[in-house]
Homo-oligomer: A and B are copies of this chain.
Amino acid sequence: MTEKSCSAMARIMLQQCLQARLQVKPADEHSEAQFVQINRGMVIYVCFFKGATASILPKMVSTLLSLRLCESASGKMVSVTELPGSVLIVPQATLGGKVKGKAMQYHNNINKEEGLQLYQAFVSLCEEELKAAVASAGSEAEVTLKHGTYGNRQVLQLDTNGPYTHLTEF
């Protein structure tokens, strides 16, 4: 935060979970709602601001996946790839809001088209890095990356042993 805030290109909120379940498609007349789910791991809420470009993504992804925010069985703090844990990415444009009287304004948020592109690239890069990290650790643990549908309502259920909420900007 602090000195970066004035020119931040992305805001990220992280929460730890035992299990998280997110709707990726609402019910309609033809089908039931669809959900994705992860077990132990990290939920990444992401919001891009105006001016954000894909150039920030590699740093974002490597930082988020290597931050020691997960409590291992021994009580030591390790990264989600070291745990190893799963990742759920939740697009959360509301994170970019700013209080204006009794309402929130989102004037600094990126437009939807660019936001969608960055979101998709962010998800892909996270997927690659998570797979690579887990493979290089030779772990046989079943970790997975799931993500929400950009632009949808993010119907979310979260079960934590302490969300251990963290915020950072890029």
Instruction: Check if A111 is an interface residue, CB within 8 A of chain B.
Output: no
Q: Report the minimum CB–CB distance from A108 to chain B (whole Å).
A: 8
In the bound complex, how far is the Cα of B154 from the Cα of A63, in angstroms? 25
* Contact flag A156-B166 (CB < 8 Å), given A2-B5, A66-B102, A67-B102: no
Is B159 a contact partner of A95 (Cβ separation < 8 A)? no
Is A167 a contact partner of B67 (Cβ separation < 8 A)? no
Give chain B residues whose Cβ lies under 8 Å from the Cβ of A154.
160, 162-163
Count identical subunits in the complex. 2
Within A129-170, the residues touching B (CB, 8 Å) are 153-168
Majority secondary structure, A binding face: mixed
Give chain B residues whose Cβ lies under 8 Å from the Cβ of A63.
99
Instruction: Check if A112 is an interface residue, CB within 8 A of chain B.
Output: no
* Contact flag A104-B166 (CB < 8 Å), given A6-B2, A63-B99: yes
